[in-house]
Amino acid sequence: MTQLAADGTDGVDLGDAAEVQQIANFAWQHLKAATTFRDRAIAIEGAASAQDIDGVFIDIRSYVSATILSTAASLEGLINELFIAPHCALRPLIPNFEEAFWGERGIERKKSILAKYQLALKLLKQAPLDEKAPYYTNVLTLIGFRNALVHYKPTWDSRQTRSDLIQDLNGRYPLSPFPNLQSDFLTMQSMSAGCANWAVRSFFEFVRVFDSRSNLDPDKMTGIWQLEV
């Protein structure tokens, strides 16, 4: 039997041992962080004026970039938890699970985040996610944005233009009202409340489609949906 605590923790009943082992559900925790950071970005940007640029933009950028990182981390954490959980349907579908998932050439090392979601649906014999649909391209672009921030390259290096990512992101969310149009697109113009809101919304749109097809862990997903505000 599995129970979900209010903080997103899975409790696994060990049966004869009369013991419930708490397993951290960090996908929920990452998403909780993302929604908190988003809300702070929205509040600060909404209360600021153009004259406040020097005082508040650093705070806004901190919250927006943290939203992007935490949302992408939640996407990855969720699918990993669904593969690993002993009570979910995926694990029994994979022969020699420990090696197949954790091994040198296993799923965890060799599959991208979104490839893991597609593999889960394939194992469950469900229709794959539409890789051209907005719900998919939004999270694909979000992950690319996360990677650009985590593996940041100095903007003065003209060889690192990131033009493909900028093209993919452009038009997906309102830009910051503070930096000018000549400033760096990723680290300045995109650091907006609108971007933070897009990141979280993209998570829910994508996961809604996946969950409707997989139905792997309703208890876990209840905790996820409670953060959708």
pLDDT, mean of each 10-residue run, the chain (229 residues): 48 47 78 98 86 80 98 97 92 93 92 96 97 98 96 66 87 92 90 97 98 95 93
| Torsion angle (degrees, nearest 10) of CA 168, 141, 218, 107 | 140
Determine the pLDDT at residue 86: 87
Question: What DSSP string describes 115-150?
Answer: HHHHHHHHHTT-PPP-TTSHHHHHHHHHHHHHHHHH
- Which pLDDT value is given to residue 201? 98
Whether the model pTM is above 0.85: yes
Coil, helix or strand for 60?
Answer: helix
Structure confidence at residue 12 (pLDDT): 46
Torsion of CA 80, 82, 88, 92, to 10 degrees: -40
CB 2 within 8 A of CB 13: yes
pLDDT at 3: 43
